[in-house]
Amino acid sequence: MPDKLKIGIDLGSRKAKFALMRGANIVRLADLDTISFYKKYGSMVNDELSLDLLGSGIFTAEELAEAEITVTGYGRNSINLHGARVISEIKAHVAGARTQTGLANFTLLDMGGQDTKVAQVVGGRLTDFVMNDKCAASSGRYLENMAAVLEVSLEELSSHSADPVALDATCGIFGESELIGQILRGYAPERLCAGVNLTLVKRVMPMLKRFPSDTLVITGGVALNRAMVTLLRQQCGMQVVIPEHPQHNGAIGCAS
């Protein structure tokens, strides 16, 4: 008997991510801006979120009729999606990391648009985790704000890790003021970009030290920041693994 078709949905703060899987095989991945997706295809019916997945064009009517649907949501926001099984973010991301890497023992660092999660997985089971969802200073939103101040793209920001300028503010708002001050002191943009990336690493290191292991799996959109990953490798002392689809990891975990 063929494996059941499954749909995983990760309703993140910045992106809504979708995975269609049959067994361990990924059939399709997709993503849309969360706010635009809600506006076009979402509605509240009897206090339950209803999504017009067929209208979104991501799945066919046949796929929706066959597939089991599992959904997770951002941070502490509750998601009650009509017709779907709901699981926690941390459960979804651990399952996604296990499916994508095949690892059973690792520390997971998931850095999304507005929060950061660190989890310890031993023998394939989640043993403990910590979340920083009170401040966006250690998330993708921080990088977007700093890139805007520097007037560079996220791609450009993620290209620089050498000789970083010291940035010590722990608050994202104060961090912008500090960065502007360093711009006025005449530091090269490359060094300022490296400083921003190093700041993010320094903010997550205390969370990582709570859950030491040989392997660190990084997921979420920030995993695509090459400079941050380079700096993290230098500081954490763990083997760093980036799954093939870090941004869709939560959706893959829901569908696996």
d(CA 225, CA 113): 13
Q: Of all helices (H) and strands (E), which one includes residue 232?
A: helix 226-236
DSSP 151-210: T--HHHHTT--SSPPP---SSHHHHHHHHHHHHHTT--HHHHHHHHHHHHHHHHHHHHHT
pLDDT tens string 60-81 = 999 999 999 999 986 445 566 7
| Residue-level pLDDT at 79 | 61
Q: Helices (H), strands (E): how many in the chain?
A: 10, 12
| Residue-level pLDDT at 39 | 93
- CB pairs under 8 A, 24+ apart, for 184-193? 189/150, 189/152, 190/160, 190/162, 190/163, 191/160, 191/162, 191/163, 191/164, 191/165, 192/150, 192/165, 193/150, 193/152, 193/156, 193/157, 193/159, 193/160, 193/227
Token duo for residue 153: 């793209």
Strands 85-86 and 5-11: what pairing? unpaired
All structural domains of the chain with their residue ranges = 5-90+251-255
Residue 230: left if φ>0, alpha if ψ -120 to 50, beta else—which one? Answer: alpha
Q: Are 9 and 18 in contact (CB under 8 A)?
A: yes
d(CA 231, CA 50): 42
| Residue-level pLDDT at 165 | 94
| Residue-level pLDDT at 84 | 86
Task: Determine the Cα angle at 25 with ends 9 and 33, to 5°.
Answer: 30
Instruction: Match 């763990």 to its residue by tokens.
Output: 238
Domain 5-90+251-255: homologous superfamily in CATH: ATPase, nucleotide binding domain (3.30.420.40)
Q: What is the pTM of this model?
A: 0.88
d(CA 26, CA 24): 7
At 133, which amino acid appears?
Answer: D
Instruction: Match 């921003």 to its residue by tokens.
Output: 196
Token duo for residue 81: 């999606």
* Residue 165, phi then psi, degrees to nearest 5: -75, 140
At 1, which amino acid appears?
Answer: M
Question: Average pLDDT per run of 10 along the chain, which is 256 residues long?
Answer: 89 92 95 93 83 94 95 65 85 97 97 88 96 66 90 95 87 78 94 94 92 96 92 94 97 96
| Beta bridge partner(s), residue 25 | 22
d(CA 74, CA 220): 12
| Residue-level pLDDT at 76 | 43
